[in-house]
Amino acid sequence: MNGKKQTIKNALTNVRGAFRTLASYQQSMLSVVNYIKNRSGIQNARIFGAKRFSAPIRTCRKSDSDKDYDANLNIFSDMWSWDFLYGYMFEYYLGTHKLATNDGEKEVSISIIQVSDDGYITSQIDNKNRVDLECYKGPEESNSWLILCVGYGYGWYYIPQVMTRETYSPTSWTELAYQTASYVINTPASTYVNRQGVDGSECLFTAKKIPMESFFDAVSIDSILAEFGNQLMQESGLELFKS
């Protein structure tokens, strides 16, 4: 076997190992997220998902000659490789629920953002591009996070430090979630709180970032949730994640 072919063969061995590692990792993430959902205190909460670093792969309309075959994802020549990797940055949305707060009953939204790699988010390269891997920090310099988000009013994912009403309204939820995660991760404080709504009204949006390695067992997760629950109670009177 020539050298080039052997190099490719070795690389593919690493690829197979990487996929199996990703499968095990994502199974762990599902377990953690479901545990957090069950500890939220919300009865019958469901989890909805959304891809947040790049575009999801959309379905397409097929021609009559192909309509009986089940391949229906739209693949095109200049799509990003990241489009195939949903777990790189993924939002688990637990929905909106009527809950009591210090400001009365509110429609409260709850989300968990999985940031598997902040190497692009924390990179200081000018004019960086998400498809250029040279723009990412090395894996050893990067970190992985879960960001717990809770809020009500007209201010979900609204960060007035980097957004305006004019830029917020036309921006997609995918990009708003990405910008929010970027701001929270690059801010020294572990918890971000905003009470200024997009239209100037009263709102609450709070996001707590936690290093992913902190979620290593039920005791550690319970401790994290208890701390966040206490912060929410002090900030707004919300009773979530009670022990």
Q: Quick one: 233 exposed, middle or buried, by C-beta within 10 A (0-12, 13-18, 19+)?
A: middle
CA angle 100, 101, 106 (to 5 degrees): 65
What is the model's pLDDT at position 62? 74
| Beta carbons of 206 and 150 less than 8 angstroms apart | yes
140-192 residue pLDDT tens: 999 999 999 999 999 999 999 999 999 999 999 999 999 999 999 999 999 99
Specify the range with the lowest mean pLDDT, choosing from 64-68, 80-84, 157-161, 195-199.
64-68
pLDDT digits (tens, 9 = 90+) for 86-125: 999 999 999 999 999 998 999 999 999 999 999 999 999 9
Where residue 63 falls among pLDDT bands split at 50, 70, 90? confident
Q: What element of type H or E holds 96?
A: strand 89-101
Angle at 98 between CA 95 and CA 103, to 5 degrees: 125
The reported pLDDT for the residue numbered 148 is: 98
The pTM is what?
0.95
